[in-house]
C-alpha cells in the first residue's frame, strides 16, 4: 500500500517516500518498526488537501518506494543499508521523506545528505535532546542520535526545538544555549533567519507532541506542544531550503484508538505539501 496520492513513478517524482522500519535500539517501548505501514494505511482517512498550506497532494509528483529491506539484529548492517539506499534515492535530486522507525535512522540519513550537500543544517523537533554521548555504553542509539549528528555536521549547524527532556550537561555542549529551544517553538523564526538559504535536513520526532494528542510512541513525555503549534512551526520552517526530512517514533500499537497513526499521517501530509 502506498501513501495516499503517492502514485508517481520514480523517474517523474519530485518527492520520494521510503519507510525505514527499524527500532533495534528502543530504550523503553519498542514497536516503531510498525509505523510506516500504519502511516500509509491511515493516510487514506484524511483529505489530500491541506488547509494549512493551501496545497493538494494531487498536484504533487510523489513516489512511495515502500520500505527499505532491513534485517533484524545486525545494527551496523542496518545502518549501512539505510545510508546506501537513501543515497540511491537522492542522487538524482529527489526530495526524500523517510518514515521511521526509531530516531537512530536519522544518523545514516544525515551521513548521506551531508555527503551530497555541503554546509547542511539540521532542524530537530523533539521532546528529547538525544544529545547524550552514549546510552548504557552504546554510542549508536536513538537516545544519542543527535550527538552523532552534531559530530557530522557541526554543533553550530544543529537547531533544536520543543525539547523538554535532557541532561543538565547538554546545556554545556557547544552552541546549545543559542541553538536549543526548550518547551516550545519560540526560536523557530530566529533559526530560520540564521540558517538563510543553506540546505536543511528536518527531523521530526513525533513525541514532540503532547501525549494527550499523541500517546502512540515509545517514550511519551508530558508537557508537549499541540498539533496546531506544530503546524505553525512547520509553516515557519517551510520557507527554508529543505532537501530531506524524516518523521520518526510512532509506535501505533500503544494507541488502540488509532488516533496517533492518523496524526502521524497528517504530519506527513503537511511535510509533503511544502517539500
Pick out the residues of the known binding site: 103, 126, 128, 130, 205, 207
Q: Which residue has the cell 555541503?
A: 118
Mark the binding-site residues for Mn(2+), compressed into ranges.
103, 126, 128, 130, 205, 207
Which helix (H) or strand (E) covers residue 18, if one does? strand 15-20
How many Cβ atoms are within 10 Å of 138's Cβ, its own excluded?
12
**CA-based end-to-end distance of the chain:** 22
SS3 205: strand
Which residues are CB-contacts of 41 (< 8 A; sequence separation ≥ 6)?
A: 1, 261
146 three-class SS: helix
Q: How many CB atoms lie within 10 A of CB 142?
A: 30
| Max Cα–Cα distance, the chain, nearest Å | 48
Residue with cell 527499524: 22
CA angle 26, 265, 123 (to 5 degrees): 65
Helix (H), strand (E), coil (C) string for 92-117: CCCEEEEEECCHHHHHHHHHHHHHHC
Contacts of residue 149, defined as CB under 8 A and 6 or more positions apart, other chains included, come to 106, 107, 110, 122, 124, 158
Amino acid at each position: 500500500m502506498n501513501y495516499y496520492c503517492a502514485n508517481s513513478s520514480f523517474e517523474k517524482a519530485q518527492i520520494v517516500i521510503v519507510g525505514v522500519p527499524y527500532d533495534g535500539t528502543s530504550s523503553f517501548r519498542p514497536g516503531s518498526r510498525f509505523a510506516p505501514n500504519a502511516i500509509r494505511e491511515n493516510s487514506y482517512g484524511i483529505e489530500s488537501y491541506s488547509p494549512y498550506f493551501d496545497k493538494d497532494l494531487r498536484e504533487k509528483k510523489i513516489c512511495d518506494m515502500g520500505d527499505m529491506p532491513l534485517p533484524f539484529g545486525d545494527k551496523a548492517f542496518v545502518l549501512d543499508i539505510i545510508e546506501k539506499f537513501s543515497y540511491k534515492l537522492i542522487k538524482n535530486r529527489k526530495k526524500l521523506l523517510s518514515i521511521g522507525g526509531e530516531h537512530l535512522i536519522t544518523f545514516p540519513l544525515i551521513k548521506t545528505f551531508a555527503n551530497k550537500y555541503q554546509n547542511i543544517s539540521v532542524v530537530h523537533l523533539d521532546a528529547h535532546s538525544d544529545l547524550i554521548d552514549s546510552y548504557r555504553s552504546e554510542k549508536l542509539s536513538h537516545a544519542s542520535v543527535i550527538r552523532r549528528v552534531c559530530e557530522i555536521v557541526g554543533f553550530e549547524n544543529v537547531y533544536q526545538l520543543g525539547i523538554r527532556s535532557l541532561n543538565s550537561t547538554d546545556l554545556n555542549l557547544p552552541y546549545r544555549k543559542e541553538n536549543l529551544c526548550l518547551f516550545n517553538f519560540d526560536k523557530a523564526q530566529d533559526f530560520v533567519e540564521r540558517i538563510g538559504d543553506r540546505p536543511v535536513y528536518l527531523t521530526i520526532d513525533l513525541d514532540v507532541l503532547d501525549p494527550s494528542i499523541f500517546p502512540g510512541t515509545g517514550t511519551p513525555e508530558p508537557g508537549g506542544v499541540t498539533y496546531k503549534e506544530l503546524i505553525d512551526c512547520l509553516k515557519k520552517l517551510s520557507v527554508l531550503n529543505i532537501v530531506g526530512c524524516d518523521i520518526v517514533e510512532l509506535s501505533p500499537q500503544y494507541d488502540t484508538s488509532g488516533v496517533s497513526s492518523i496524526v502521524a499521517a497528517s504530519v506527513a501530509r503537511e511535510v509533503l505539501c511544502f517539500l
